[in-house]
């Protein structure tokens, strides 16, 4: 499935994980054949080592501080829940520590049935309030359609940006000071730089829509984070602090799935972020066909370096197709029909040149300016 390396690049694969030149044509191997992603993973692991030392006690102390600070508020924290492994397990963990959580789910119109049931099962068993925000369908549809025509790699940006913005908006509305994030090194430590794109970039989203959209919507109904809110609002005026509890524990995806299945009747849906049908199409069809990149290679590499599976197991797993050709064809038809894209247009999308974020207006310069300014302030 489209995993042939770029013809102009000599094929290389890491000896420790399975990152290769299809994941990143600029993959760098050291003298032992170990890639730059493994080295980056190791340094992130070192940086976070102090969190795992006596991690449970640290978490207990941290949550006790949060509970005390928020004792007069309605909630201690918020959590964006997708129905996937990490966010579902995180809600379970929060309950173990007695946190009062507002679970927020954003429905972009692509939820798999399993994802919806998972969210309901976990929230109702734990007795947590669940706020479901349904995105304005004509808006998300036109934005996602524009992204398909943009030639950019990260087709999840329109969904992800709105997820982030909506959860933050709820934090502001309910005066919630803490936000729990399911980010963790074990399942997300390795991700190719070659095709990455920041989901925070509102300027970029607007420009993609201007250049590739049909102009049918105004984006007024799209919940977003402006540059102002991104750099100042959520840091100084109504600060929301993000906490990553899974970095404090020995998080194992396998064990998390087992616990969720046993305690909540939760179901696994087959792949990283496949709780959204669009994300599944983006990762299984769009990326391999247009970019020759199988994102699950990155995910499997994270699990190998994190010790959850061996390299041999990883190599075997990547060879097993996640779906039959027929299933992928049906899934593609479903997505294209829903987004109003004809077969002819789809073929032109696939054959058009690939683009990078620099082909559109973006916040990268502004971002670098703020990072430099922050460093200067810290130094002073």
Contact between 47 and 81 (Cβ < 8 Å): no
SS3 content of the chain, % helix, strand, coil (to 5): 55, 10, 40
Does 180 help bind Zn ion (rule: CB under 5 A)? no
- Looking at the Cβ atoms of 120 and 317, the one nearer to Zn ion is 317
Give the whole-angstrom CA distance, residue 224 versus residue 247.
Answer: 28
Minimum Å gap between C-beta 15 and Zn ion is 8
Least CB distance to Zn ion at residue 116 (A): 36
Region of 9-17, 64-72, 99-107, 155-163 interacting with Zn ion (CB under 5 A): 9-17
Phi, psi dihedrals of residue 112, rounded to the nearest 5°: -80, 155
Reference 75, options 61, 91, 88, 59; nearest CA is 91
Distance CA 326, CA 332 (A): 10
Task: Give the distance, in angstroms, between the CA of residue 173 and the centroid of all CA atoms in the same chain.
Answer: 24
- Token reading at 371: 């990072």
- In the complex, the smallest distance separating the C-beta of residue 18 from Zn ion, rounded to whole angstroms, is 8
Handedness of CA 343, 201, 165, 276 (dihedral sign): positive
Residues near Zn ion (CB under 5 A), total? 7
Q: Does 14 bind Zn ion (CB under 5 A)?
A: yes
Helices (H), 20-156: 36-47, 49-52, 55-69, 85-96, 113-126, 137-150
- Whose Cβ is closer to Zn ion: residue 17's or residue 59's? 17
Q: Does 167 bind Zn ion (CB under 5 A)?
A: no
Single out the segment in contact with Zn ion by CB under 5 A; choices: 12-20, 162-170, 203-211, 328-336.
12-20
Q: Which of 16, 161, 224, 295 binds Zn ion (CB under 5 A)?
A: 16
Exactly one of 20, 21, 23, 35 binds Zn ion (CB under 5 A); that residue is 35
- Which stretch in 36-44, 199-207, 285-293, 315-323 sits in contact with Zn ion by CB under 5 A? 36-44
Tell me how far, at minimum, the Cβ of 299 lies from Zn ion, in Å: 13
**What SS3 state is found at 100?**
coil
300 is a site residue for Zn ion (CB under 5 A): no
State the nearest-atom distance from the C-beta of 300 to Zn ion, in Å.
11
The answer to whether 160 and 355 have CB atoms below 8 angstroms apart is no
Distance between CA atoms of residues 329 and 346, nearest Å:
12
What SS3 class is residue 349? helix
Q: At what angle do helices 343-351 and 137-150 cross, to 10 degrees?
A: 50
| 81 is a site residue for Zn ion (CB under 5 A) | no
Nearer to Zn ion (CB atom), residue 315 or residue 352: 315
For 62, the token pair is: 């941290």
Smallest CA-to-CA distance from 88 within 132, 122, 124 is with 122
Our CB check for Zn ion shows the closer of 14 and 153 to be 14
Considering only 27, 38, 104, 108, the residue that binds Zn ion (CB under 5 A) is: 38
Edge-to-edge strands of the sheet including 129-134?
129-134, 101-107, 77-80, 178-180, 241-243
Residue closer to Zn ion by CB (options 16, 200) is 16
**In the complex, which residue's CB is closest to Zn ion?**
14
Q: Which stretch binds Zn ion (CB under 5 A): 14-22, 87-95, 241-249, 345-353?
A: 14-22
Q: Does 17 bind Zn ion (CB under 5 A)?
A: yes
Q: Which stretch binds Zn ion (CB under 5 A): 21-29, 32-40, 162-170, 226-234?
A: 32-40
Residue 66 binds to Zn ion (criterion: CB under 5 A): no
Q: What would the two tokens of residue 37 be?
A: 């992603």
Q: Is 191 in the site for Zn ion (CB under 5 A)?
A: no
Name which of 341, 360, 357 is nearest 278 in CA terms: 341
Q: Does 27 bind Zn ion (CB under 5 A)?
A: no
Is residue 297 within the footprint of Zn ion (CB under 5 A)?
no
121 binds Zn ion (CB under 5 A): no
For residue 230, state whether it binds Zn ion (rule: CB under 5 A): no
Q: 24 phi and psi, to 5 degrees?
A: -155, 110
Judged by CB under 5 A, does residue 341 bind Zn ion?
no
Residues of the shown chain interacting with Zn ion in the complex, contacts defined by CB under 5 A: 14, 16-17, 19, 35, 37-38
């Amino acid at each position: 499935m489209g995993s042939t390396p770029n013809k102009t690049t000599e094929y290389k694969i890491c000896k420790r994980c399975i990152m290769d030149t299809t994941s990143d044509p600029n993959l760098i191997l050291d003298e032992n054949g170990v890639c730059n992603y493994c080295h980056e993973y190791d340094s992130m692991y070192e940086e976070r080592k102090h969190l795992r030392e006596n991690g449970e006690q640290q978490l207990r102390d941290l949550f006790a501080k949060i509970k005390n600070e928020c004792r007069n508020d309605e909630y201690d924290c918020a959590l964006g829940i997708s129905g996937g492994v990490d966010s579902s397990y995180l809600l379970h963990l929060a309950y173990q520590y007695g946190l009062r959580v507002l679970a927020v789910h954003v429905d972009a119109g692509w939820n798999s049935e399993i994802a919806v049931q998972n969210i309901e099962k976990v929230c109702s068993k734990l007795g947590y309030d669940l706020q479901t925000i349904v995105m304005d369908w004509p808006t998300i549809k036109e934005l996602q359609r524009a992204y398909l025509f943009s030639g950019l790699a990260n087709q999840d940006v329109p969904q992800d940006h709105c997820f982030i913005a909506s959860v933050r908006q709820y934090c502001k509305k309910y005066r919630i000071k803490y936000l729990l994030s399911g980010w963790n090194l074990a399942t997300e430590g390795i991700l190719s730089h070659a095709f990455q794109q920041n989901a925070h970039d509102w300027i970029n989203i607007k420009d993609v829509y201007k250049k590739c959209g049909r102009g049918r919507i105004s984006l007024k109904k799209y919940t977003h984070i402006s540059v102002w809110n991104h750099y100042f609002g959520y840091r100084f005026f109504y600060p929301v602090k993000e906490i990553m509890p899974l970095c404090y524990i020995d998080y194992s995806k396998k064990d998390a799935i087992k616990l969720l299945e046993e305690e909540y009747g939760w179901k696994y849906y087959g792949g990283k972020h496949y709780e959204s049908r669009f994300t599944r199409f983006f990762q299984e069809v769009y990326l391999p066909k247009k970019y020759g990149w199988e994102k699950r290679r990155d995910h499997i590499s994270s699990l190998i370096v994190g010790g959850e599976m061996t390299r041999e197991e990883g190599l075997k797993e990547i060879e097993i197709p996640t779906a039959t050709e027929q299933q992928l064809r049906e899934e593609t038809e479903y997505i294209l029909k829903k987004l109003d894209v004809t077969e002819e247009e789809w073929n032109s999308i696939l054959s058009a040149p690939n683009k990078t974020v620099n082909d559109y207006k973006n916040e990268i310069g502004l971002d670098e300016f703020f990072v430099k300014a922050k460093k200067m302030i810290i130094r002073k």
